[in-house]
């Protein structure tokens, strides 16, 4: 039954942990003043580039990279015609609503990083429903013989 769980819940939980950490570390005013955004942009490591500059990678970048990889696997899962795919679509929709509410109403979630995560969750929902509808239509067309 774990296959029904949307994989994009992982980066959402990671982001929630970052915001929770910034709220607990600096109080509610720190998160309101961009505490979560500052934590996400703070470089964890840097990679020297051939141009002579260095590429600074922060926690937000890693969460976005993980989100993109998981979105790829979610899109692959959406092509499945198993009955558990419907549960996955429903859970993805619930995750999207939760993310949208967090983005719009909770301090610390109005960042570009979380907006991109919300967009990926929305794309997962749309892809799941579109693929299901198209495959159902093909099954219907194939079954109709005239």
Q: Are 62 and 15 in contact (CB under 8 A)?
A: no
- As a residue count, the chain comes to 146
pTM of the model: 0.83
Rounded to the nearest 5°, which phi and psi values hold at 107?
-65, 145
Question: Distance (Å, rounded) from C-alpha 118 to C-alpha 64?
Answer: 11
CA distances from 5 to 14, 16, 18 (A): 16, 18, 22
Question: Distance (Å, rounded) from C-alpha 91 to C-alpha 34?
Answer: 30
pLDDT at residue 9 tops 80: yes
Mean pLDDT of the chain: 85
Q: Where are the domains of the chain?
A: 8-144
Task: Please state the rounded mean pLDDT for residues 95-110.
Answer: 93
pLDDT bucket at 141, cuts 50 / 70 / 90: low
Q: Are 88 and 36 in contact (CB under 8 A)?
A: no
Question: Distance (Å, rounded) from C-alpha 35 to C-alpha 14?
Answer: 15
Predicted local confidence at residue 65, as pLDDT: 96
Rounded to the nearest 5°, which phi and psi values hold at 98?
-60, -45
Task: Please state the rounded mean pLDDT for residues 111-124.
Answer: 95
């Amino acid at each position: 039954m774990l296959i029904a769980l949307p994989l994009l819940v992982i980066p959402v939980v990671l982001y929630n942990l970052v915001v929770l950490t910034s709220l607990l570390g600096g109080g509610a005013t720190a998160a309101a003043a961009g505490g979560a955004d500052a934590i996400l942009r703070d470089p964890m490591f840097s990679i020297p580039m051939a141009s002579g500059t260095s590429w600074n990678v922060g926690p937000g970048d890693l969460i976005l990279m993980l989100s993109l990889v998981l979105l790829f696997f979610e899109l692959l899962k959406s092509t499945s015609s198993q009955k558990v795919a419907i549960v996955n679509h429903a859970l993805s929709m619930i995750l999207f609503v939760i993310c949208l509410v967090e983005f719009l109403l909770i301090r610390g979630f109005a960042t570009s990083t979380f907006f991109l995560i919300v967009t990926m969750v929305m794309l997962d929902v749309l892809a799941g429903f579109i693929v299901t509808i198209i495959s159902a239509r093909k099954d219907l067309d194939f079954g109709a013989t005239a």
